[in-house]
Every structure is written in structure tokens, then in C-alpha cells.
């Protein structure tokens, strides 16, 4: 991360225990100062906030409704369906 310019960057993570251990928070504070969002960090955000987790509320719901419409019967078919949907969704969502 040394080669990245982090002065205008905000880092976010979920509240998993391994992400909120003191050693992790100390590392993040060393890299990002007070510019990270975490359950144990300086910028606390409500869990499951639609503002901070748009993929959970938009993309995965969209993927699930489209992929499961075909009722995939095997993991490899499910994986292929997800990859295909994401590939074409990027084209459709990019403008």
C-alpha cells in the first residue's frame, strides 16, 4: 500500500471479529489515520447500511433473481450462470 496515495481514501470493512481485533485496527489507523469505517474504528456506520454496502442491496439481489430463475441443478452451472450474468451486467450498467 506504500505506493498508493491514501490521503483522500476511505477504507471500509465489515464487523467480523478478525477485522476488529486491536492489531487490525492499529494497522488500519497506521495506514488510513482516522479515515476508515469499522465497527471498532473512528467512523462507525450502521450495520447493513444501504449507503455503504450497495453491492449487497443492488447487485447480489439482481444476480440472485436472474440466476435462480433458471434453477441451476449443479454448482458448476450456478457458477457459470453467475459469471455470465456479471459479464453482461457490466455492459448494461456501464452506460
Strand partners, 43: 37
pLDDT digit string (tens) for 64-74?
888 999 899 99
List all residues 6 or more positions away from 24 whose beta carbon is below 8 Å from its beta carbon: 18
Write out the three cell numbers for 93. Answer: 450498467
Q: What are phi and psi of 32, to 5 degrees?
A: -115, 0
Does the pTM exceed 0.75? no
Q: Are 36 and 43 in contact (CB under 8 A)?
A: yes
pLDDT digit string (tens) for 2-60?
666 666 677 777 767 777 788 988 888 888 888 887 777 777 666 666 666 666 677 78
Please tell me the chain's helix, strand, coil percentages from 3-state DSSP, rounded to the nearest 5: 55, 5, 40
Amino acid at each position: 500500500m506504500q505506493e498508493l496515495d491514501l490521503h483522500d481514501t476511505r477504507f471500509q470493512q465489515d464487523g467480523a471479529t478478525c477485522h476488529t481485533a486491536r492489531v487490525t485496527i492499529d494497522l488500519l489507523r497506521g495506514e488510513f489515520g482516522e479515515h476508515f469505517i469499522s465497527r471498532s474504528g473512528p467512523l462507525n456506520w450502521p450495520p447493513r447500511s444501504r449507503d455503504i454496502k450497495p453491492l449487497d442491496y443492488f447487485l447480489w439481489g439482481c444476480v440472485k433473481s436472474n440466476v435462480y430463475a433458471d434453477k441451476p441443478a449443479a454448482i458448476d452451472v450456478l457458477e457459470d450462470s453467475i459469471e455470465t450474468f456479471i459479464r453482461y451486467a457490466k455492459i448494461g450498467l456501464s452506460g
